[in-house]
Amino acid sequence: MSDIQSQISHLQSQLEVAYPADEARALAWWIVEETTGLSRTQLLTDCKSTTFSRDMQTIVTRLLQKEPIQYIFGHCLWFGLDLKVTPATLIPRPETAELVETINQMVNGKWTNGKCLDVGTGTGCIALALKKLHPEWTVTGLDISAEALDVARENGRRNGLEVNWLQADILNDDIPTYDILVSNPPYIAESERRDMDRNVLAYEPHSALFVPDDDPLRFYRRIAELKRAEWLFFEINPRYAGQTAAMMQENGYTDITILPDSYGKKRILYGRIAR
């Protein structure tokens, strides 16, 4: 067995105490690639003997405590973007990339100079992905958190994408009119905490995750009531998919559609309104 394969197996065996085998192996590769600065292809083909960092064991210890690897290394790759992440921001999820893909499929070619707003932008991932897909659009990312917006600005710089960043409280502030409004707002009910993994509860910002049980649609309702865009696209809690769709209909939206994510959960909702 080569040095690299032996090291991967060693890391994987330690991580399997807390992670499924496939995830443990993926984490092991991530550790080795990040700490050596080499790609997997380089490690497997060009490196006959690689010196492995002593920091690897510290990283394993942190992972066994369920600290997300994205926070350990301070960045992640998502939708072809290298994104800085900090405890002030949520880690971008695969299902959010599916939301971006849905927007692209639905509106591609409809606006040559479209205006788009991402509410609750966090790392800026949605806004930056849409700007990457549509350089001709004017894209704005909005967040209440100054810390999150600092991260989003840095992500714009590191990916060479020009997005406008706006600090505002969507629940209380008014906003201009856009062609498209997209949001992945807090949508997990407080009562769902007990079913969540430690890596989320202990490390990711609760203000970006949770809503009260007695008002789980607070952000969706406010955004819909503002009527500030022809198209609304949401990432949603599958538990409240029907309620969210009904609320949009009550506010005058049509062509309301709910789509499943790759896991089969009702995760994406969109609709439009005449302006």
Give the H or E element holding residue 181: strand 178-183
Instruction: Retrieve residue 242's tokens.
Output: 């029907």
Residues 6+ apart with CB under 8 A from 22: none
Instruction: Retrieve residue 250's tokens.
Output: 């009550």
CB atoms within 10 A of CB 213: 10
> pLDDT for 169-217, tens place per residue?
999 999 999 999 999 999 999 999 888 888 888 899 998 999 999 999 9
Distance of CA 126 to the CA centre of its chain: 7
- Look at the pTM and tell me if it is higher than 0.75: yes
CB atoms within 10 A of CB 61: 11
Q: Could you give the CA distance from residue 259 to residue 240 in angstroms, rounded to a whole number?
A: 13
> pLDDT for 54-73, tens place per residue?
789 999 999 999 999 999 99
Distance of CA 185 to the CA centre of its chain: 11
Average pLDDT value for the chain: 93
CATH architecture of 87-272: 3-Layer(aba) Sandwich (3.40)
Whether the pLDDT of residue 126 is over 60: the answer is: yes
Instruction: Retrieve residue 233's tokens.
Output: 């696209």
CB atoms within 10 A of CB 239: 16
